[in-house]
Amino acid sequence: MPLPQRPLNVVVPIVSASPETGRVYELWGTGFFVEPKLLMSAKRVLGAQMPDGQRLCVIQRDPDLRLVPISGIYLDPEFDLAIAMVQDWTELEHLVLADSSTTLPYNVPVLTVEYSATEQNVARPDGDGNCSGV
């Protein structure tokens, strides 16, 4: 299973926003595309209730930043898992889930993406010193 060429277009932030005005209110979590236009995330993220005038959106990064509304949300009744449609998503690249009927592979490349705030040139409490670009 190859990793995506542009991972930030596959693993995306999920935010509450107003697509009409472009205003982002809050980061709720992340999700990832498992098929073109089909997003998977945690139920606690996609199940969040939005105030009037806001809706859940993903942020598309290429070529410019763009809010794309999420719709058709399915919340699994048993597990912290949800899927949703993102009809206006223009990327085709996605992550391939492993077939559950086969043995899971070991020691394969892993993709991690963090959307939290980053700090540069800050001394870490573990004594690691100044870390540039972390």
Considering the four listed CATH numbers 3.40.640.10, 2.40.10.10, 3.40.930.10, 3.40.50.300, the one that applies to the domain covering 7-98 is 2.40.10.10
Quote the pLDDT of residue 133.
40
Q: How do the domains of the chain map onto residue ranges?
A: 7-98
Quickly list H helices, the chain: 43-46
Place of tokens 């992340």: 30
Please state, in angstroms and rounded to a whole number, the distance separating the CA atoms of residues 27 and 15: 4
Whether this model's pTM surpasses 0.95: no
Quote the pLDDT of residue 99.
65
Degrees, nearest 5: CA angle 68-44-73: 45
Please state, in angstroms and rounded to a whole number, the distance separating the CA atoms of residues 74 and 81: 9
What mean pLDDT comes out for the span 5-33? 90
Confidence of residue 12 (pLDDT cuts 50, 70, 90): very high
Degrees, nearest 5: CA angle 39-41-42: 155
| 8-state DSSP, 75 | E
pLDDT tens digits, residue range 89-128?
998 888 877 666 677 667 777 666 666 665 555 555 554 4
- Determine what percent of the chain is predicted with pLDDT higher than 70: 72
What mean pLDDT comes out for the span 67-90? 95
